[in-house]
Amino acid sequence: MNGTCDLSVFVATCDEDVVGFGEFEADGHIGAVYVHHEYQGQGVASLLLERIEQEAERRKVARLFTEASITALSFFQKRGFVVMKV
C-alpha cells in the first residue's frame, strides 16, 4: 500500500437508523455491501450498489470487482457481475 487510501463509504438510513453501507475504492474494488437483516430484501443493497456504480462512472472507473460471500454471490450475479474464481 502506498500510504494513501481512497475509500468512499455510502450509508443507507431509515428514520435516522443506519440500515446498511457500501464501500468503494478508487481502483473499482467494492469492499463491502452490508444490509441489516431486518432490511434485507427491500432494495437497500440495490440502492447502495447503484450509488457505488454512479461514483465509479463519475470517476471513470472501467471495472468494478469484489470478493462476494456465498450469501451475496447471487445478488452480484443478478446485477451483471461475473464469477472469476470460486
Contacts of 12 (CB under 8 A, 6+ apart): 18, 19, 20, 21, 35, 39, 44, 47, 48
In a domain, 86, yes or no: no
* Overall domain count for the chain: 1
Residue 57 is assigned to a structural domain of this protein: yes
Domain that holds residue 53: 7-78
- The residue among 74, 63, 71, 68 whose CA lies nearest residue 27 is 63
Per-residue confidence of the chain (86 residues) as pLDDT tens digits? Answer: 455 568 999 999 999 999 999 999 999 999 999 999 999 999 999 999 999 999 999 999 999 999 999 989 999 999 999 999 87
pTM recorded for the entire structure: 0.88
CATH number of the domain at 70, please. 3.40.630.30
User: Has residue 83 been placed in a domain?
Assistant: no
Sheet with 30-35: list strands edge to edge.
7-14, 17-25, 30-35
Residue 66: count other Cβ atoms within 10 Å of its Cβ: 19
